[in-house]
Every structure is written in structure tokens, then in C-alpha cells.
Structure 1
Amino acid sequence: MYPLSERVNEIRNLTEIDNYRKEHLLRRNMTKWLMLGSCMNTIEITEKGLESFLTEDTDSSGTGKNYLRISGALQILVTQQEAVKNLHNALDIKLPKDSSIKKVVENIQRIRVSATGHPTDIKIGKKEKAFGYINGRNFGPQGFELFTDYPEGDPRFKHAPEKDLRYQHEYVDIPHLIATQKDILIGVLDKVIETLREEEIAHRKKFTGEKLTKVLQITDPFFSYICEAATLPNSIHIQGVDSYVDGILESIEKFKREVKDREEPDHTFSWRYEYLENALQRVKDCFHKVNGTHFNKKNAYAFARFAQQEVKELKEIAKEIDERYAAAV
């Protein structure tokens, strides 16, 4: 019943609900992010408004009421056009250059201006003007007769000498305009959805074969060596604790870079970095004299186990990201 709203829902899924990366990127420009939200809401609400026009008060005979219906429908059509246009701007997607689409859009805009928008002062080109009239005798709930006078001639028909350039008469069928615009916008929004999907697939393909989980796997033996050094007095790994800790820290830094390269948001887990680094530094301290004394090796073991658990949590996050990227290729 609401095909445009269905497509808006899909765009919403591709830009926020099912794609935190895209939402993260869009939120960097808050103006465009807010524009996107406004556009999606406007497309949905205008579609419902036009559906109400087609189904409610369709037998009205009151001129005033019908004028409100007609003027409202024409304004909603143009508002809907603007929302779709700005949706493209917000997503940095180019508008289609199809001349048939442009023709329909401009015709609806022309009718609105001539009939209810600015009928008393229609600007044509730089200097020319036109004036619109609605025939009150043939003015129904679904359409009307529109007369437009062009003192200097209608510029659209300057190459058609058989036409009277100073006068135009037409019947405006609002349900036909609504149906025509809906068909066009369905295709336009389908293209937006296709573009968003293609962009996401192209992004993820850049990291084919590169696993975030691999970056953190090399920390496993380092943690084992550190725990052994903390529990066995004569462990051969005691002298290597500093290098093991440095190896783990290097892996964490590489993980950070890889996440950033993928443009993945890390606000839900970046806080773990500080805790990790602090715990690993404490591990180092436990194996060095501070003020002439050694820290308790049990502390080193506890800090190492804590850091290992934090890395385990990062591995789960890495796994989720890897699976997402693999599924899209």
C-alpha cells in the first residue's frame, strides 16, 4: 500500500539500523545526517497524505473544500519531490538525469505554481509572466480545469506556430499526477538502494582476505608466557616479559588502525584500550624494582588475566566484523 515507505525503510536499514559503519560516516556531517532523517520522514508522511487524498472525501461537491484538497495535494507532491532530491544530497548520490523524469517533475511543479502556488504572478524566464485561473464550474474533488494566460506567449511552444502561445487550457487529473509521480519515485528510490548496496559491497571487498581476528591471535602465546613467568619462579620467560607486553600492545595498536581503515565505529569498545594498556603496564611494573622492591608476582598474574579477558572481548568484536565483511563479498 505504501511502496515509497517500504523503500525508505530499506534505506533506513542500509544507513543506520543494519549498518553502523554507514551511520558512523553520515553522522560526521550532522547537517546531512539530520537532512537524511527529515527526508525519510517527509517521503513517508507525504505518501500517506496523498493516499488519503485518493480515498477520503472523493465525492465532495464543495468548491472551498475541493480547493483545499487540490492545493494540499499539489503542495504535497512538490514537497515529496524536494524530499527525494535532498535525500540524494544527504547521501552524496547523484540524481538521475533521465529526461522523462525531469519532464514529469517539472510539469507537476508548473501546475502547482499556475493553479495554487503563485497564480497571480507566474514568472516565465527572466522577464516574462503568466497568470493562472481555475474554472470554478468544473472544479471537482479529484481534478480541475486550469487556464493559463501568457501575455508574451508560452515559451514552451515558440516552435509550434499552430498553437496559440498566449493561452493554454488543460484538465488536471490529480490521481493521475499522484500515480505518475509514485511510479517514477519508486524507480528513483530503488536506484538509491542499489547504489547504497553497491557502495557497501565495494568497501568490504577492499578487505577481502584480511581478518581482524588474525591481528589479535598472536597475543595468545604472549599471555601464556607472561602467566608462566608470574607463576613459576625460575621460568625462562621472566626476562622476556617486557617484549611480550610490547608485542601485545603492538597488536592492539594494529587492531585500532585496522578498525579505523575499515571506517568502523569503535565508540562501544574503545574504552577497553585504556584499561588494557594500563593493566599491561602494571604487568611490566611487577617484574621491575620500584623503590627498591618487587611487586607481588600474583598481581602480575591478575593483571595479565584481566588484560587477556579484554583482548578476548576484542576478538569477539573482530569476529563479528569479519563475518559481516565475508557475508557481503
Structure 2
Amino acid sequence: MTDNKIIVKYLDSSTEKLEFVYEYINTSRYQDELIKDYNLWNQICSSLYVINDTILAIKSYLSKKYPKDIGRKYLYTYGILQALFTQQDAVINLTECFNVETKVCDVFREIRNLRNISIGHPTKLERREGVYYGYISRITLSKFSLNYIKPIR
């Protein structure tokens, strides 16, 4: 099975798991209680919508051919990094609603860090270990990889 098919299968199973959450929150005995806390209800709904939207974005990214035009390559790359970042935030916020602790695995932590230093705050990012002034190496952009250049002061 190709990597794309494995990822799509995982995303499909994630969508099925979200259906369980939708069923739970829309069961009247639970929904009545959840809606009493207006902010909690909005956080649950917002998180679920964003998770579903980002699943659609990721599946679209995987199913489409990576562009040859350099500007579109940047849009695709920035877009997928932002979608992954946004999805992680939504999952964290959703689990928070139900008092479930989450642990960000190393791969997702690396994606968050790459997104922050490459497209979130590329021109100056201050961290304990130094200040980063980074950028994505244009010639290395591809659908599943890139080189990030990070001179440290």
C-alpha cells in the first residue's frame, strides 16, 4: 500500500471516529447538558468543523498533482503545513472540552515546529536556543519534502 493510501485510510478512520463524537453531542441527554455551557459548546462545534475541514484539505492535497509553478508550490506547501497545524490545535481543543489529556507525538511536534519556523515566523523567531532567520530552499520544494535553511545567531 502506498503512503498516500495509508494516510487516506487513516484520515477516513479519523472521520469515522469523529462521527462517534457527533452522535454523542447530538444525543439529547448529553446535548442539553453541553449546551448549558455556551463557550464549551462552541469550542466543541468549532473544533469538530475544523478537524473535518482540514481532513478534506489534506485528502485534496494528497489526491492532486503537485504543481510545477513555483508560486503554486509555495501555496500548496504553506497550505498543507497550515492545515496540519490547525488540525492539531483543533484536536487539542476538542479533547480539552471532554477533559481528555493529549500528548503530541514527536512527528506532530516536528510538523508544528517546521510550520512555525518556516511559514509562521520565518524572518525572526526567538527561541531559547537562539534566534532563527529561516526560509524554505526553493529548489528543494516537492510534494513530500523540503529543505529548511536556518541560520542561527
Q: TM-score, normalised by structure 2?
A: 0.85
**Structure 1 residue 141: deviation in Å?**
3.5
The aligned length equals 143
Amino acid at match of 2:14: L
Matched ranges for 1:1-329 at <5 A? 1=9, 2-16=12-26, 19-58=27-66, 60-91=67-98, 93-97=99-103, 101-125=104-128, 128-151=130-153
Mapped to 2, the partners of 1:144 and 1:62 lie a distance apart of: 16
**Structure 1 residue 57: deviation in Å?**
2.5
Superposed CA deviations along residues 268-321 of structure 1, whole A, max 9, x for unmatched, are xxxxxxxxxxxxxxxxxxxxxxxxxxxxxxxxxxxxxxxxxxxxxxxxxxxxxx
Label 1:96 to 1:89 Cα distance change in 2 as closer, same or farther (>3 A).
closer
Mapped to 2, the partners of 1:79 and 1:119 lie a distance apart of: 18
Mapped to 1, the partners of 2:72 and 2:143 lie a distance apart of: 8
Mapped to 1, the partners of 2:111 and 2:101 lie a distance apart of: 18
**Structure 1 residue 128: deviation in Å?**
3.1
Amino acid at match of 2:15: S
Aligned residues of 1:61 and 1:141 also touching (Cα < 8 A) = no
Mapped to 1, the partners of 2:53 and 2:15 lie a distance apart of: 9
Mapped to 2, the partners of 1:102 and 1:140 lie a distance apart of: 24
Superposed CA deviations along residues 104-147 of structure 1, whole A, max 9, x for unmatched, are 2321111001221111111213x831121211122223321111
Amino acid at match of 1:12: Y
Mapped to 2, the partners of 1:138 and 1:12 lie a distance apart of: 41
Larger C-alpha radius of gyration, 1 or 2?
Answer: 1
Query: SS in structure 1 opposite 2:149?
Result: strand
Query: SS in structure 2 opposite 1:150?
Result: coil
Superposed CA deviations along residues 185-211 of structure 1, whole A, max 9, x for unmatched, are xxxxxxxxxxxxxxxxxxxxxxxxxxx
Mapped to 2, the partners of 1:108 and 1:141 lie a distance apart of: 15
Over aligned residue pairs, what C-alpha RMSD do you find? 1.6
**Structure 1 residue 94: deviation in Å?**
2.4
Between the aligned residues of both structures, percent identity stands at 24
Amino acid at match of 1:149: P
**Structure 1 residue 77: deviation in Å?**
0.3
Aligned residues of 2:43 and 2:93 also touching (Cα < 8 A) = yes
Aligned residues of 2:54 and 2:84 also touching (Cα < 8 A) = yes
Query: SS in structure 1 opposite 2:146?
Result: strand
Label 1:47 to 1:25 Cα distance change in 2 as closer, same or farther (>3 A).
same
Q: TM-score, normalised by structure 1?
A: 0.41
Query: SS in structure 2 opposite 1:144?
Result: coil
